Homo-oligomer: A and B are copies of this chain.
Amino acid sequence: MSRPSNHQLTLNLFIYPGGHHEAAWRHPSSDAHRLLDITYYQELARQAEAAKLDAVFLADGPSLPENVRYASRFRLEPITLLTGVATATERIGLIATASTTYLDPYNLARLFASLDHISRGRAGWNIVTTGAPQAAANFGLDEHPVHADRYARAREFLEAVTALWDSWEDDALVIDQASGIFADTSKIHRIDHAGELLRVAGPLNVPRSPQGRPVYVQAGSSKDGRAFAAAHAEAIFTAHQTLGDARDFYADIKARVKGEGRDPDQVRVLPGISPFIGSTETEALELQEEFDALIQPEYSLQQLHQLLGVDLRGFDLDGPFPVGVLPTTGDRQESSRFNLVADIVRREAPTIRQLLRRLAGARGHWVTAGAPEQIADRIEEWFTGGAADGFNVMPPYLPGGFDAFTDHVVPILRERGLFRTEYEGSTLREHYGLQRPPSRFGATIRRAENRW
């Protein structure tokens, strides 16, 4: 397996159904009527594959936000959606978000093992604990578990599913017609996970998949999130508004990874970037203005409510953001996205409307407008400046905003030697330069007590 040169960017396409700008679906160029059509996603993934991107990525959450009234907020289930994409592509990685709070380890392990088999080794799992409190009521809970409890379950959950994915050794499947041995059951193991929160016996009922297990992706930048990422993540999605913040995060997370005894090169740090691209900077800014003009404050205020826990309906949109309403204690403080927005408010003292526009592009991710050379410059600056191993590319509108990126920005990155011209491998691990993890039950450390 090749390790990507440190001079090679990692680039994912983060597909937000109509594009990341909250009003993207209202733009005449939008394919909003195709958001339930699998061919829409297949086409985007094929375009990403033609541009030799590493992966496509889908977010998720098991509840319906109320502001679906004003924008595309429904969600096809990402593992099924990406399975439908897998069979229409060959090389592109497929990263699905799934919640450790609202799924069972055994079911989740099966779903991802199946996607990894069906895609021949291209599955990634974006591990989330689910931020939206309304999810709880869909699963019979009175209260959404607090941040610390969600992370406690996430840690145990990851332990259990990792063991499930190890439960078949690579060579357990024998299929020897003559002897009649289908599987060597001495190489299939119970996991007997019995923790504080979860009990899972195993083994999994799916043989070990091409990548051993999906690539572990993580996106929380809270204290708990960073600790979790340092211990487990192989790719980290993160949101930063400035090069300085991104660089601080990058240094911190790589040091934490090292502190866990892991190789920092085995963790790709990938900030989000949502680029408006025009043939000139002026054109790009005009394009951004076209989208910002379509914003609906009702929607944006509901988004802000969800993000900050404060309802600003009734406030004067053109008055200053009332800093005093921000909670200063409680669970919300644990959220990295809350803190990012609170920082913007404190740093820039915007009006409410200015803040809504600031967040409309990509919910707190880095939104930037420019000509292709400028976008490439900014990407290169973050990449060579110790702030990123690559990016989660978040086109503000689709498919047009992604066309502009693949047609005009990727070629420049390639000319500069920053991005691959061909895939070298065929699995997501190979694209990311990650080692394939051995099964813990493998020959060198076979444990008799887990014989099945």
> A: which residues have CB within 8 A of B?
23, 25-28, 30, 32-33, 36, 38, 42, 61-64, 66, 68-77, 79-81, 83-84, 86-88, 102-104, 106-107, 110-111, 113-115, 117-118, 134, 137-140, 175, 177, 180-185, 188, 198-207, 294, 296, 452
Give chain B residues whose Cβ lies under 8 Å from the Cβ of A296.
Answer: 180
| A142: nearest chain-B partner, CB-CB | B199
Give chain B residues whose Cβ lies under 8 Å from the Cβ of A81.
Answer: 114, 118
Complex contact B205–A70 (CB within 8 A): no
Contact of A114 with B77 at beta-carbon distance under 8 Å, contacts A102-B104, A140-B199 already known: yes
| A192: nearest chain-B partner, CB-CB | B137
Give chain B residues whose Cβ lies under 8 Å from the Cβ of A201.
Answer: 134, 137-138
Complex contact B117–A76 (CB within 8 A): yes
Complex contact A138–B38 (CB within 8 A): no
Identify A110's interface contact among B33, B42, B77, B117, CB under 8 A: B77
Identify A69's interface contact among B177, B185, B202, CB under 8 A: B185
Give chain B residues whose Cβ lies under 8 Å from the Cβ of A114.
Answer: 76-77, 80-81
- The distance in angstroms between the C-alpha atoms of A76 and B110, with both chains bound, is 7
Give chain B residues whose Cβ lies under 8 Å from the Cβ of A77.
Answer: 107, 110-111, 113-114, 206
Identify A68's interface contact among B32, B74, B183, B202, CB under 8 A: B183
- The distance in angstroms between the C-alpha atoms of A203 and B135, with both chains bound, is 10
- Name, among A68, A77, A103, A104, the residue most crowded by chain B CB atoms within 10 Å (CB to CB): A77
User: Can you list 16 A-B pairs, Cβ within 8 angstroms, ordered by A?
Assistant: A32-B182, A33-B175, A36-B207, A38-B117, A62-B107, A64-B188, A64-B203, A68-B182, A69-B184, A76-B113, A76-B114, A80-B83, A103-B107, A106-B138, A134-B201, A180-B294
Give chain B residues whose Cβ lies under 8 Å from the Cβ of A33.
Answer: 175
Complex contact A205–B74 (CB within 8 A): yes
Give chain B residues whose Cβ lies under 8 Å from the Cβ of A32.
Answer: 175, 177, 182
Give chain B residues whose Cβ lies under 8 Å from the Cβ of A180.
Answer: 23, 26, 70, 294, 296
Complex contact A70–B110 (CB within 8 A): no
Contact of A62 with B138 at beta-carbon distance under 8 Å, contacts A25-B182, A38-B117 already known: no
A208 to chain B, nearest CB (A): 10
Complex contact A62–B106 (CB within 8 A): yes
- The distance in angstroms between the C-alpha atoms of A64 and B206, with both chains bound, is 8
The 5 closest A-B pairs by CB, nearest first: A137-B201, A64-B205, A140-B199, A80-B114, A83-B83
A306 to chain B, nearest CB (A): 14
| A184: nearest chain-B partner, CB-CB | B69
A211 to chain B, nearest CB (A): 13
Give chain B residues whose Cβ lies under 8 Å from the Cβ of A23.
Answer: 180
| A42: nearest chain-B partner, CB-CB | B87
